[in-house]
Amino acid sequence: MSIKRIYTSYNHFIHKGRVMKEKKEYIVLGMALFAMFFGAGNLIFPPSIGNAAGENWIMAMFGFLTTGVGLPLLGIMAFNKVGSLENFASKVSKKFNIIYCSLLIISLGPLLAIPRTGATTYEMGIQPVFGDINPGIVSFIYFSITLAMVLNPSKIIDNVGKILTPIILLMLAGIILKGSFIKIGTPVPTHLTTNPFSFGFLGGYQTMDALASILMGAVIMNALVSKGYTDRSVQKSLILKASAIAGIGLASVYGGLLYLGATSSSVVSDFGKTKLTMFIAEATLGNLGNLALGLCVSAACLTTSVGLVTIVGDYFSKFGKFTYRQIVTATCIFSGVMAIAGVDTIVKIAAPILVILYPVTIVLIVFTLLNVRDTALYKAGALTAVTFSFIEVSYTIMHIDFFKVIYLNLPFSDSGFSWLIPTLGITTLFFTRNRFRHIRSK
The per-residue pLDDT for 5 is 46
pLDDT recorded at residue 2: 46
Angstrom distances, CA of residue 54 to CA of 134, 153, 212, 255, 261: 37, 43, 29, 14, 8
Tell me the mean pLDDT in the region 120-138: 85
Give yes or no for residue 332 having a pLDDT over 90: yes
Please check the confidence at residue 263 and state whether its pLDDT lies above 60: yes
pLDDT tier for residue 441 given thresholds of 50, 70 and 90: low
| CA-based nearest residue to 161, from 226, 242, 241 | 242
Percentage of the chain with pLDDT > 90?
Answer: 15
Longest dimension (CA), the chain: 86
Q: Which are the contacts of 367, defined by CB distance < 8 A and separation ≥ 6?
A: 91, 377, 378, 381
Model confidence over 223-259: pLDDT tens digits? 777 777 777 778 778 888 888 888 898 999 899 999 9
**Predicted model pTM:** 0.77
What residues does each domain of the chain span?
30-340, 353-442
Helices (H), 107-134: 113-120, 127-130
pLDDT at 64: 92
Instruction: Identify the band that residue 158 occupies on the pLDDT scale cut at 50, 70 and 90.
Output: low
pLDDT (tens digit per residue) in 134-156: 999 999 999 999 998 888 755 55
**Residue 439 confidence (pLDDT):** 67
| pLDDT value of residue 153 | 55
Q: What angle do CA 27, 30, 35 make, to 5 degrees?
A: 130
Q: Is pLDDT at 176 greater than 60 in this prediction? A: yes
What pLDDT, on a 0 to 100 scale, did the predictor assign at position 88? 85
The pLDDT score that the predictor gives to residue 8 is: 45
Q: Are 61 and 254 in contact (CB under 8 A)?
A: yes
Q: Specify the pLDDT at position 343.
A: 73
Distances (CA, A) of 32 to 175, 393, 417, 432: 21, 34, 32, 43
Task: Give pLDDT, residue 164.
Answer: 61
pLDDT score of 6 more than 60: no
Higher pLDDT, residue 246 or 21: 246
Structure confidence at residue 438 (pLDDT): 61
Q: What is the predicted pLDDT for the residue at 62?
A: 93
**pLDDT at residue 356 in the model:** 86
Mean pLDDT of 287-306: 77
- The answer, yes or no, to whether residue 7 has pLDDT greater than 50, is no
Over range 107-133, report the average pLDDT.
Answer: 84
**Among 89-93, 296-300, 375-379, 416-420, which stretch is predicted with the lowest mean pLDDT?**
296-300
3-class DSSP state of 342: coil
Higher-pLDDT residue of 23, 105:
105
What whole-number distance in Å separates Cα of residue 383 and Cα of residue 440?
27
Burial-class residue 103 by CB neighbours within 10 Å (0-12, 13-18, 19+).
middle
Tell me which CATH code domain 30-340 carries.
1.20.1740.10
Mean pLDDT on 165-189: 80
| Cα–Cα dist 308/216, whole Å | 8
pLDDT at 319: 84
Mean pLDDT of 319-329: 90
The average pLDDT across 81-90 equals 81
More confident residue, 271 or 442: 271
pLDDT (mean) for 420-430: 89
Q: What's the mean pLDDT in 315-326?
A: 88
Q: Using CA atoms, how far apart are residues 256 and 43, in angstroms rounded to an integer?
A: 11
Mean pLDDT of the residues in the chain: 81
Q: Is the pLDDT of residue 110 over 60?
A: yes
Whether the pLDDT of residue 159 is over 60: the answer is: no
**pLDDT beyond 90 at 286:** no
- Determine the pLDDT at residue 333: 95
Q: Residue 440: its pLDDT value, please?
A: 64
- Cα separation, 289 vs 87, whole angstroms: 45
